Amino acid sequence: MNPLLLDLRLPIRTPRLLIRPKEPGDGAETAAAVQETWDTLHLWMRWAENREFFTSEQMEIRNRQVMATFLLRESFELLGIEIATGLPVAWCGLHEIDWQAQQCETGYWVRKSAQGRGFATEACNALLRYAFGVLGMRRVGLTHSSGNEASRRISEKLGFALEGTQRQAALLPGGRIADRLLYARFDTEGLPPLEVAWAAPAKGGSR
């Protein structure tokens, strides 16, 4: 089936999060969250190289670009809104989607003021259930750089299998190089319990 015809059944709801596609106007909040969380992002995220680039205007441009990739079913960049406050707390998604092979990668980050509350684990748990349950994926991968203990703990909590290490494969801000650890899951068996729901199928929608 052509993925453009796929009924994506969004948003995703968990007990604490509403996970939805990015929308016009989300750029300013993303810029604020990046600035707030810069020390951590600049340590581990390759894209967090130049702090001056992350203005509200630039983030809104980026925001609208990823909205286009979402419509083309090439990449899903999603925003996790804390239901209790209405504030964006988690940036997550599914990328490098290979519809023919039925596999993709996932990733996430949480703004500094919301860290330590399990939002990354909750969002990734929900995305795994969505990827296998709605999108029909057979494999979901996850990578992080060596030394990123927060990401390692999340991968272990969610039962990802460590598949191997790519030596000196991760380019980090400032030209630093680290090993890249490769993980994967192949189903939802053994995931920590989580109440997850997504939108009902659209009338006449596929899957």
Q: What is the pLDDT of residue 53?
A: 96
Domain definitions of the chain by residue range: 8-139
Note the helical H segments in the chain.
27-36, 38-44, 56-71, 119-133, 149-157
Which pLDDT score, from 0 to 100, does residue 204 have? 56
DSSP H helix total and E strand total for the chain: 5, 9
Q: With cut-offs at 50, 70 and 90, classify the pLDDT of residue 203.
A: low
Distance CA 127, CA 137 (A): 11
pLDDT of residue 201: 82
pTM of this structure = 0.95
Taking all residues of the chain, what is their mean pLDDT, rounded to a whole number? 96
Architecture of domain 8-139: 3-Layer(aba) Sandwich (3.40)
Question: Percent of the chain, pLDDT > 90?
Answer: 95
Q: pLDDT tens-digit profile of 110-156?
A: 999 999 999 999 999 999 999 999 999 999 999 999 999 999 999 99
Closest CA to 5 of 98, 135, 133: 135
pLDDT at 116: 96
Q: Which two tokens stand for residue 154?
A: 């999340």
pLDDT at position 1, please?
77
Q: What is the DSSP letter of 186?
A: S
pLDDT at 63 over 90: yes
List the beta bridge partners of residue 82: 17
- CB under 8 Å to 156, separation ≥6 — which residues? none
For residue 206, is pLDDT > 90? Answer: no
Q: Provide CB contacts within 8 A for 148, sequence distance 6+.
A: 44
Are 191 and 143 within 8 A, CB to CB?
Answer: no
Residue range 151-168: mean pLDDT, rounded: 97
Q: Give me the mean pLDDT over the 24-51 stretch.
A: 97
Which pLDDT score is estimated for 205?
A: 54
Residue 200 confidence (pLDDT): 87
Q: What is the pLDDT of residues 176-191, one digit of tens each?
A: 999 999 999 999 999 9
